[in-house]
Chain A
Amino acid sequence: MSRPEIDVRGLYKSFGQNRVLRGIDLEIGRGEVVCVIGPSGSGKSTLLRCVNLLEEPTEGRVFVGGTELTDPDVDIDAARRRIGMVFQQFNLFPHLTVTENLTLPQRRVLRRGKARAAKVAAENLARVGLSEKADAYPSSLSGGQQQRVAIARALAMGPEVMLFDEPTSALDPELVGDVLAVMRMLADEGMTMMVVTHEMTFAREVADRVVFMDGGVIVEDGTPDRVIKAPRHERTRHFLSRLLDPAMADVEEETSDQVGGGT
């Protein structure tokens, strides 16, 4: 295989005494869609945020598109332009209209002209099916619409890689489908994607690989069929059974190696 689009080597990350990532190695090839699953506090968000260096790794190296982001001399702002990120809480700019949310970064960061930025914005709004909301403010949109705008905003920068951190977790159930449909479209177009999600149907149908994390390490990594239908590790089985049927879960002690849970 040619060089991976995302390459994480020997990644460690601690917050003070809290060792959140404990040696992660992960390669994602061009056009590959990888879903990351795992219990709360297992370090999924931290791993994703280390990939575009929103968190500074304590140890280890991160390459995206052949550029080493962990190199202290790299232009991190330039490197991030090639990595789109979608957050659980959307994080749209509330003081700007939908179109302005898409044009401001293009103009300020990529120095695109007004007309060009507007054209790219319109194209990407159309891609996520929200052309008619171009002049609305984010607060007047539903959560699902806001998240699609956030995806369009990231796409307008022409990224080579997209990172998603639980993009549908903050949404009402009936709005999840629209966002997943957009992500499925991106996957079909060949976008390289790393998706932290609990949407197992999406993982099964869209992902090329599923990665199961627990306690800051990758426990299992394989095709969706392998990891979801035939997990090899007890921890994976346990997690999946609880995820697929939450009502069946017992009350249990926090596992000892988990210092403080995430949200």
Chain B
Amino acid sequence: MTDTGLDAPPRRKGLTRRRKRGLSRGAQYTVFVAAVIALAVTADWGRLGNQFAQTDIARRMFPDVITLALKNTVLFTVSGFVVGLALGMVIALMRLSSVGPYRWLAGIYIEIFRGLPALLIFIFIGVAVPLAFPGTEIVGGTYGKVALALGLVAAAYMAETIRAGIQAVPRGQMEAARSLGFSPARAMASVIVPQAFRIILPPLTNELVLLFKDSSLVLFLGVTLEERELSKYGRDLASQTANSTPILVAGLCYLLITIPLGFVVRRMEAKAQEAVR
């Protein structure tokens, strides 16, 4: 490059940054509007409305979709979460143990249950276990089975989350507790774990959201009419009425729970960010 006028500002060639940004945004809006128009023109709105928005069918679903289906979904999810949390806590502590075999066992558990589809575990609990051990009853009937299946799946993820949370607590906290005379177990319980849970509250809540969705797998356990949750309830009604409205309503019910939970998670994450400063 030839060098003239040492102090001259760099010449603006082509588009400025501001101009480029404006053009790029304009292009994106154009694509979006085109897509919306294409969708509106090609979709058969009458048929879609008939299939998904039959108000009389939707009305017939109430109150059962709430008092039965949503209630069961929540019940399954929460019991699975509790089992998963308890089991995950134990596995996390085993993973951090100074005893080798505990660490290996926990590691093996995590690898296995993170790698298997949740569906397979539901089938295993619902079909394989009764076949392999005839006469054994899992306590709590369907509720017990779901809690166990969901708990087994969730525990693997939660164990890793809890372990990360415990390790994120500064080393000085354990040292301060030990120097005050806490035993390692008591320091863990009253100083480290409470701080760890503060750290991992957002990912744990995310896990709850995932479990909400996974609770639909109860479909594969074979449930009585009273034990149906949102997905099965929606599907049954859809085939009864030969209409898709119940699916839409069931879907909305999931969102009723998961969207506020997601909001809470983001709030907690923002707050945690703020606390770090």
Residues in chain A within 8 A of chain B (CB atoms): 52, 54, 77-78, 80-81, 83-85, 87, 89, 91-95, 104-105, 108-110, 139, 150, 153-154, 157
CA gap between A93 and B173 in the complex, in Å: 7
**Nearest chain B CB to A54's CB is how many angstroms away?**
6
Within the complex, which residue of B172, B181, B182 is in contact with A91, where a contact is CB–CB below 8 Å? B172
Given A104-B190, A109-B186, A93 contacting B176 (CB threshold 8 A): yes
Interface contact B180-A95, CB-CB below 8 Å: no
Interface contact A77-B182, CB-CB below 8 Å: yes
Interface contact A109-B179, CB-CB below 8 Å: no
Interface contact B195-A87, CB-CB below 8 Å: no
Interface contact A153-B195, CB-CB below 8 Å: no
CA gap between A83 and B194 in the complex, in Å: 25
Contacting residues, chain A, for B176 (C-beta < 8 A): 85, 87, 91-93, 150
7 CB-based A-B contacts, threshold 8 Å: A77-B181, A78-B181, A85-B176, A104-B190, A108-B190, A110-B181, A154-B179
Residues in chain B within 8 A of chain A (CB atoms): 170, 172-173, 175-183, 186, 190-191, 194-195, 198, 275
CA gap between A110 and B175 in the complex, in Å: 18
Given A94-B195, A95-B194, A95-B198, A109 contacting B182 (CB threshold 8 A): yes
Closest to B192 in A: A93
Closest to B183 in A: A77
Given contacts A91-B175, A104-B190, A108-B182, list 13 more A-B pairs with CB under 8 A: A80-B178, A80-B180, A83-B179, A84-B179, A87-B172, A89-B172, A91-B173, A93-B176, A95-B195, A105-B180, A105-B181, A108-B190, A154-B179
CA gap between A52 and B183 in the complex, in Å: 14
CA gap between A100 and B244 in the complex, in Å: 57
CA gap between A84 and B175 in the complex, in Å: 12
**Nearest chain A CB to B268's CB is how many angstroms away?**
15
CA gap between A41 and B178 in the complex, in Å: 24
Closest to B187 in A: A108
Closest to A104 in B: B190
Contacting residues, chain A, for B182 (C-beta < 8 A): 77, 105, 108-109
Contacting residues, chain A, for B194 (C-beta < 8 A): 95
CA gap between A85 and B181 in the complex, in Å: 11
CA gap between A170 and B100 in the complex, in Å: 38
Interface contact A93-B172, CB-CB below 8 Å: no
Contacting residues, chain A, for B175 (C-beta < 8 A): 54, 87, 91
**Nearest chain B CB to A78's CB is how many angstroms away?**
7
